A and B are shown apart, each in its own frame.
Chain A
Amino acid sequence: MENIYLKSSKEGQLNHLNPKKETIQFLLNYSKALVITDYKMMKFEALLN
């Protein structure tokens, strides 16, 4: 019984949540690699390594 009452609530768990560093790093690298070029009315997307 004690365990049931002592279990932290889901709201409590939410306070320590953050995405992985790898995910953030991926997003930053993706952003750096993504180049959008305007040509007249068109937009060209390129992912540079």
Chain B
Amino acid sequence: MENAQATDATLVNAYVQGCEKSLSILITRHQHRIYSFIYSKVFDKDVAEDVFQDTFIKVINTLKRGKYNEEGKFLPWVMRIAHNLVIDHFRKNKRMPKFENNGDFNIFSVLSDGDLNVETQLIKDQIESDVQELIKELPEDQLEVLTMRIYKEMSFKEISESTGVSINTALGRMRYALINLRKIIEKHNLILTN
């Protein structure tokens, strides 16, 4: 009871001398002001909890190392440590911003998994096999150029060398192949998208 009414300076002094209970009283006495101060800056209970903990770890380390000069300003000193740690928190977050899901914005609406799921993979396979069937309807010369360009990933220079036609002719055949392919798709009323 005697301790509970002691000044901060007395308690700090007692704590430095080894009285652990003094720390408990100091924390209990100031926890609300310090925690509220931190929360008023970060507006996140978990972050406030972390900063509060880090603040008192610094306080404990400094006091136990005997580096604290008692000038009757315990609370302003602790508040200054908390303030600096809040600034550190925001600096760290600026480098690595944290997104939280609240009602208005869902981060997963803009981030997506690049891999296809089973359904889209099945659709993709189906589309690819349909296209392979469709291109068989193209004239032989166009089919040849399209196959070399799309499936064998050859350049137009390589295609022209391989088929013995000029690059311009190969380009023209590719263009007509695509135009005709679109016409075939339209004719069959096909929708080839995921």
Contacts and interface: CB of A to CB of B under 8 A. Distances in A.
Interface of A: 10, 14-15, 17-20, 23-24, 26-28, 30-32, 34, 36, 43
Given A14-B36, A14-B39, A14-B40, A19 B49 contact: yes
A19 B47 CA distance: 11
A45 to B, nearest CB: 8
B60 A30 contact: yes
Interface string B23-50: 1100110011001100110010000110
A30 B52 contact: no
A40 to B, nearest CB: 15
Contacts, number: 52
Interface centre among A14, A20, A23 (most CB of B within 10 A): A23
Contacts of B28: 24
19 contacts: A10-B40, A14-B40, A17-B39, A19-B35, A19-B48, A19-B49, A19-B52, A23-B49, A24-B31, A26-B53, A27-B23, A28-B23, A28-B24, A30-B57, A30-B60, A31-B20, A31-B60, A32-B20, A34-B60
Interface string B49-75: 100110011001100110000000000
Interface SS, B side: helix
Contacts of A27: 23, 27, 53, 56-57, 60
Interface SS, A side: helix
A14 B56 CA distance: 20
Contact of B35 (A17, A28, A34): A17
A35 to B, nearest CB: 8
Contact of A34 (B24, B36, B43, B61): B61
A3 B31 CA distance: 32
A34 B64 contact: yes
